[in-house]
């Protein structure tokens, strides 16, 4: 079981609200990722980071933003949530020794 955590697990909010999804890992991994996944569909990479103060946009365009001020913390923010943002958001970190990504449990976001 990987030591990567996401909060909240479920979030239901109204349109226009600002939200921050939290992701933290205790494995000291430099590389972290955010994926977006609709039910029954593939994961799409929306943001990634190779270390502190490094953030890049992923393959799928997203209105969200991320920051990486500390190695263990990689929060994702939506300034003004819309129903089209309803999805599951998965955070992951990369383990150099195993060459694999470790995933958090995900945050299921519903915007009304």
Partner 1 sequence: SQQGEEDPQALSIQEGENATMNCSYKTSINNLQWYRQNSGRGLVHLILIRSNEREKHSGRLRVTLDTSKKSSSLLITASRAADTASYFCATGRGSNYKLTFGKGTLLTVNP
Q: Which is nearer to partner 1, 80 or 100 (CB)?
A: 100
What count of Cα atoms within 13 Å lies in the side-chain half-sphere of residue 12?
1
Q: Which is nearer to partner 1, 16 or 51 (CB)?
A: 51
Among 46, 76, 90, 109, binds partner 1 (CB under 8 A): 90
Cβ contacts of residue 101 below 8 Å, gap of 6+?
A: 33, 92, 93, 94, 95
Do residues 53 and 69 touch, judged by C-beta distance below 8 A? yes
Residue 34 interacting with partner 1 (CB under 8 A): no
Residue 97 interacting with partner 1 (CB under 8 A): no
Q: What does the DSSP 8-state code read for residue 83? A: G
List the one residue out of 41, 72, 76 whose CA is nearest residue 57.
76
Q: Which is nearer to partner 1, 2 or 16 (CB)?
A: 2
Q: Which is nearer to partner 1, 75 or 105 (CB)?
A: 105
Residues near partner 1 (CB under 8 A): 4, 6, 31, 33, 35, 40-45, 48, 58-59, 88, 90, 92, 94, 98-106, 108
């Amino acid at each position: 079981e990987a030591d990567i955590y996401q909060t909240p697990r479920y979030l239901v909010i109204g349109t226009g609200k600002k939200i921050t999804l939290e992701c933290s890992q205790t494995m000291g991994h430099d590389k972290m990722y955010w994926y977006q996944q609709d039910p029954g569909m593939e994961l799409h990479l929306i943001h990634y980071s190779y270390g502190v103060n490094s953030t890049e946009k992923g393959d799928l365009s997203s209105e969200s933003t991320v920051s990486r001020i500390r190695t263990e913390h990689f929060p994702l923010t939506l300034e003004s949530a819309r129903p089209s943002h309803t999805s599951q958001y998965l955070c992951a970190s990369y383990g150099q020794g195993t060459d694999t990504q470790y995933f958090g449990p995900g945050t299921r976001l519903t915007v009304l």
